[in-house]
Amino acid sequence: MNKSQLIEALGDRLDGDKRTAKAAVDELVDLVFRAVAKGESVSIAGFGVFEKRIRQPRTARNPATGEAIKLKKTSVPAFRPGTQFRGVVNGSVKLGAAPRPAKKAAATKATAAKKTTAAKSPAKKTTAKKTTAAKSPAKKTTAKKTTAAKAPAKKAAAKKTTAKKTTARKAPARKR
């Protein structure tokens, strides 16, 4: 996942507000850059720690020539993943469903409650039973015959299309 995909995914979780998501990602990255550059560590519980590490001066070798090279003292950014992050990656910790915004969740719960209440009404259950009992064997047979009649027609149409493609391809080959 790259930055634009992260912004898009975050925007979807924020009711499609990609401007807010982009601003949030950009500000978070900027704050981490500035804090780590100052030598501070940025710790996000469960996720990990961003920090500045200092590499001491050392002697290295050029792999092409084998010549010894002296490297100066440098500072490098480092990330230490948190225990929850490590657990999710190695499979020992399972993530739950992705969190949804409160507005959508409330609307979804209300809709689900209406559907559940409507499904529990005795009038609808009785209607469903009457409909099932009202079906006659003749209707079932008709439905099977109709389905069976349609299947060969589709196969025949597919054969004609294949034949046309084959003819169209062979025609240029004959002209040569």
Distance CA 124, CA 122 (A): 6
For the stretch 41-78, pLDDT in tens is 999 999 999 999 999 999 999 999 999 999 999 999 99
Residues pairing with 69 in the sheet: 60
Which domains are assigned to the chain?
3-89 (4.10.520.10)
Average pLDDT over residues 125-136: 45
CB < 8 Å & 24+ apart, contacts of 133-140: none
Say if residue 156's pLDDT is above 70.
no
The contacts of residue 104 (CB under 8 Å, 6+ apart) are 15
Q: Whole-model pTM above 0.85?
A: no
Distance CA 98, CA 87 (A): 17
For the stretch 40-51, pLDDT in tens is 999 999 999 999
Which three-class secondary structure state does DSSP give residue 100? coil
Task: Return the pLDDT at 15.
Answer: 83
For the stretch 72-121, pLDDT in tens is 999 999 999 999 999 999 998 888 887 766 655 555 555 555 554 444 54
Task: Return the pLDDT at 5.
Answer: 94
